[in-house]
């Protein structure tokens, strides 16, 4: 009935069309200036954190391993939304007040770091032990072995699932709206609060997210095919 009334009533259709067109530019700006930069920055920081966390969990140094295990357990065992609320709304109670964007970057980076560390750790463990032994046999140190032999191979294993993590992060960035980051979903909320066309605006946001994620999904499939073919040789 709702859709039927839109397409059968020219005035109603024109109204929705005007709202959709007028809101498109602000939504795209929110995506370009907040959603995408937030996702990219958080992903880069998260991957760096994930690498160190994975190495710490594989380390023989007990204190590093313990800290890394606790970090991963806490982040994976609590909702991302709760983590964001603690960072943005909770930390001011102890005198730490953060800009919404910075708080979002910290929250997303910690989350990506914990989950991606498992991907990287699994990729490193998938490398046959003989590769380590071969490096040691020609006089390489642990660091040289890791840098020159193990990590290049682990990258081929971890890139496809990490690309999926990035796509998920772009969609999860909508949660930043709840800590006042003016990313795309927050802009949609603000516009919808003035015209009350929540279905139209949120559907438009969903389509923009799909437009962003669709080419990334294709790139991920190609990466999986390329690296999968390499690993089968």
Q: Give domain limits for the chain.
A: 2-232
Is residue 227's pLDDT more than 90?
Answer: no
What span, in angstroms and rounded, lies between the C-alpha atoms of 230 and 222? Answer: 12
CA nearest 162: which of 67, 82, 227? 227
Q: Indicate the pTM of the whole model.
A: 0.89
Sequence-distant (6+) residues with CB within 8 A of 105 are: 38, 41, 42, 45
Residue with tokens 């949660």: 175
C-alpha distances in Å from residue 48, one per residue of 54, 126, 183, 233? 10, 20, 24, 29
What span, in angstroms and rounded, lies between the C-alpha atoms of 166 and 39? Answer: 7
Q: What are the backbone angles phi and psi of residue 156, rounded to the nearest 5°?
A: -65, -30
Sequence-distant (6+) residues with CB within 8 A of 137 are: none
Is residue 230's pLDDT more than 80?
Answer: no
What span, in angstroms and rounded, lies between the C-alpha atoms of 110 and 152? Answer: 24
C-alpha distances in Å from residue 164, one per residue of 52, 92, 118? 20, 33, 14
Per-residue pLDDT tens over the stretch 58-72: 988 999 999 999 999
Is residue 2's pLDDT more than 60?
Answer: no
% of residues, the chain, pLDDT over 90: 62
Q: What is the DSSP letter of 89?
A: I
Per-residue pLDDT tens over the stretch 33-50: 999 999 999 999 999 999
Check if CATH label 1.10.3720.10 holds for domain 2-232: yes
């Amino acid at each position: 009935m709702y859709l039927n009334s839109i397409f059968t009533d020219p005035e109603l259709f024109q109204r929705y069309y005007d709202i959709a067109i007028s809101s498109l530019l602000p939504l795209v700006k929110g995506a370009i200036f907040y959603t995408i930069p937030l996702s990219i920055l958080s992903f880069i920081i998260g991957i760096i954190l994930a690498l160190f966390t994975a190495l710490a969990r594989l380390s023989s140094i007990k204190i590093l391993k313990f800290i890394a295990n606790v970090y991963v357990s806490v982040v994976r065992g609590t909702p991302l939304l709760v983590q964001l609320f603690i960072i943005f709304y909770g930390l001011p109670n102890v005198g730490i007040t953060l800009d919404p964007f910075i708080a979002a970057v910290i929250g997303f980076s910690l989350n990506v770091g914990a989950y991606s560390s498992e991907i990287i750790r699994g990729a490193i463990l998938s490398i046959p032990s003989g590769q380590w032994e071969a490096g040691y046999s020609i006089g390489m140190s642990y660091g040289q072995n890791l840098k020159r032999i193990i990590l290049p191979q682990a990258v081929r294993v971890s890139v496809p699932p990490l690309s999926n993590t990035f796509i998920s992060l772009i969609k999860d960035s909508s949660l930043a709206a709840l800590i006042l980051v003016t990313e795309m979903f927050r802009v949609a909320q603000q516009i919808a609060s003035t015209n009350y066309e929540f279905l139209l605006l949120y559907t438009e946001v969903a389509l923009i997210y799909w437009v962003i994620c669709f080419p990334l999904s294709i790139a991920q499939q190609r990466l999986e095919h390329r690296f999968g073919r390499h690993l089968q040789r």
